Amino acid sequence: MIVATLQEHSRLIIRHRESAGVSLVYLLSDIWIKPPEIMFGGGAAPILVLSQNTKRDAGKKVQLENVAAGKAIADVIRTCLGPQAMLKMLMDPMGGIVMTNDGNAILREITVQHPAGKSMIEIARTQDEEVGDGTTSVIVLAGEMLGVAEQFLAQQMHPTVIIRAYRQALEDAISLLQDNISIALDPNDRPKLLEVIKSCVGTKFIGRWSDLACTIALDAVHTVMLEENGRREIDIKRYAKVEKIPGGSIEESTVLRGVMLNKDVTHPKMRRYIENPRIVLLDCSLEYKKGESQTNIEILKESDFTRILQLEEEHIQKVCEEVIAMKPDVVFTEKGISDLAQHFLLKAGITAIRRVRKTDNNRIARACGATVVNRTEELREEDVGTGAGLFEIKKIGDEYFCFITECKNPKACTILLRGASKDVLNEIERNLQDALHVARNILVEPKLVPGGGAVEMAVAQILAEKSKLVQGVGQWPYRAVAEALEIIPRTLAQNCGTNTIRTLTALRAKHATGGDTWGINGETGELADMCTLGIWEPLSVKLQIYKTAVETAILLLRIDDIVSGSKKKDKEGGTKTAQPTEESMKE
């Protein structure tokens, strides 16, 4: 509620508009005009502009809080960068545990109160969805970008000046990466591709089995790759399914040339091993169709009831005959199969599997060349899949699994993961997803940059030189971006336990004398040439890291006011009226 005297209310609106820098419009009905007997003299009344349950922070305080929140999130993740990364153990509200060093997985489990912290978590998710790797780097870099801006805010520099310099530095860094630093790669050079995926996997838990993981990732991506009209489509999410089966050892994990489902045959007497099967995929149920809503049938004589049952049986028989006419060996359906239908199919020597997921059905269709059919009447010879070499049911552990393997030209695959426990399997799956995305990124855009902090150091070196040409105050924030990029090699050195200052000084000296590909060996913490060490990263991942980190820093620096309109509940469950904050009292 706004309290004002009649003469003052118009002046009050103007004063607020000037002080907050924001155009505020008040309805006259919101302004309570005091009767003359309770008017205060000389404007002594407290003016409450915002509602009583609203908390408002403004100005420098908000900007410094945002910077602190960004740095706090980055500090949580910092030890998870590089080959010597630590794992974090997180407990969710349900009591389950997650052990991981994947930036996105950690931040997904953490509950954050501060709005700036929430937007930091959002960027890790964006990075994961866009390129699948670099989630830890992007958080660490964004936190540092905010950290270096703190000194300029303390010196009363306007945020827009800082933002302009940041933008300019980002544009220069991107053009440097694309034109000067990146090198092209031949997508058919398998050893080189494996080397790139290895440098991604090396920082993860799965790093000890890096050869196996790289081979799995590359095989899976090559399998699901489609080339149409000169355009490459690699859909990992839909067609490269990861199946985790606890037990066995990690070395037993493989990529199947086909599909695996967690299903058994519907009838125990059906065949469980068929070579070169003819496969039919259905999207309809092989049972009598029930009415959608409640159905009433009036029967006049008892023979009618028998007739109704007979009609049901005839319908099922007709549907089964239409399927049998195609002479398939295996029938998969997304819906149910009644006992009678099982009987007819068993007599014809057909194996049936019911209630298959739609996504699995689509994968089988891509693997063996079948078409999913919605009505049995429409079955044609070309809808039958003949591309699979083997259908078999195997028992692994306690469960039965159905394998459709040895496909001639599968465009879908299943990655079978084995491991000691569920936690280990979950972590391996997360790591493998990163490897798959890296493999996809290289095949879609085959350009590489050196890893191990070498590219950051090279870009920082050139940006520091360019900053001397920037006019005015903007050159200091521009140079600060170059300093912020050094956080990646610095963190790598810290996580190895080496002397950070000495290592970084030596690395700067290397780059100053033209050693552009020198970086930090994440295993030992010593300087190494990334070309000879074979540590490469896809250009698309690096570009996304820089863009996301700098743009998030820009976004958070632009905020100068936080208004939170949440009602605070006290212990009795009633709503406690929030007191006006200092800022709103100052106005």
Cβ of 152: how many Cβ atoms within 10 Å?
A: 19
pLDDT tens digits for range 285-295: 888 777 677 77
CATH number of the CATH domain containing 68: 1.10.560.10
- Rounded mean pLDDT of 262-278? 87
Task: Over range 84-91, report the average pLDDT.
Answer: 83
Structural domains counted in the chain: 4
**Residue 297 placed within a domain:** no
pLDDT tens-place string over residues 154-174: 888 888 888 999 999 999 999
Categorize the per-residue pLDDT at 407 as very low, low, confident or very high, splitting at 50, 70 and 90: confident
Q: Which of 37-41, 223-227, 392-396 is least confident? A: 37-41
Do both 70 and 174 map to the same domain?
yes
Q: Looking at the structure, do residues 267 and 385 belong to the same domain, yes or no? A: yes
Q: Give yes or no: residues 175 and 284 share one domain.
A: no
What are the tens digits of pLDDT across the range 337-371?
888 888 888 888 889 998 999 988 888 888 888 88
- The whole-angstrom distance between residue 205's C-alpha and the CA centroid of its chain comes to 18
Neighbours of 162 (CB within 10 A): 25
Do 192 and 247 share a domain, yes or no? Answer: yes
Same domain, 270 and 404: yes
Note whether residue 233 is domain-resident: yes
- CATH number, residue 363: 3.50.7.10
CA distance 488 to 505: 14
Q: Is 452 helix (H, G, I), strand (E, B) or coil?
A: coil
Q: Is 33 a member of any domain?
A: yes
Q: What is the pLDDT of residue 27?
A: 45
Q: Is residue 296 part of a domain?
A: no
Residue 343 lies in a domain: yes
- In this structure, are 282 and 163 located in the same domain? no
Inside any domain, residue 120: yes
Answer yes or no: do 402 and 482 share one domain.
no
Q: Among residues 173, 174, 179, which one has the least CA distance to residue 467?
A: 173
Mean per-residue pLDDT, 493-518: 86
Beta-carbon contacts of 324 under 8 Å, excluding residues fewer than 6 positions away, are 344, 345, 348, 350
252 and 263 fall within a common domain: no
> Which residue reads 């609203």 in tokens?
54
> Quick one: pLDDT at residue 5?
43
Catalytic residues: 102, 135-136, 434
Read off the pLDDT of residues 373-387 as tens digits, 9 standing for 90 and up.
888 888 888 888 888
Containing domain of residue 265, as a range?
A: 259-290+302-409
d(CA 70, CA 549) in angstroms, rounded, equals 11
46 pLDDT band, cuts 50/70/90, is low
* Secondary structure of residue 25 in the 3-state scheme: coil
Of 353, 388, 409, which marks where a domain is finished? 409
3-state secondary structure of 301: coil
Shared domain check, 507 and 490? yes
Q: Is residue 295 part of a domain?
A: no
For residue 36, the model assigns a pLDDT of 46
Instruction: Write the CATH number for 249.
Output: 3.30.260.10
* Residue 572 confidence (pLDDT) above 50: no
* 206 lies in the same domain as 124: no
**Please, are residues 261 and 360 in contact by the beta-carbon 8 Å criterion?**
yes
Rounded to 5°, angle at Cα 198 from 494 and 481: 45
pLDDT at 15: 46
Number of H helices, E strands in the chain: 20, 26
The candidate with the shortest Cα–Cα distance to 337, out of 280, 262, 404, 398, is 280
Q: Cβ contacts of residue 470 below 8 Å, gap of 6+?
A: 165, 168, 478
pTM of the complete model? 0.74
Determine the pLDDT at residue 579.
52
357 and 458 belong to one structural domain:
no
Average predicted confidence (pLDDT) for the chain: 80
* Residues 555 and 577 both lie in one domain: no
pLDDT band at 121 (very low <50, low <70, confident <90, very high): confident
Mean pLDDT to the nearest integer, 274-278: 88
Domain annotation covers residue 91: yes
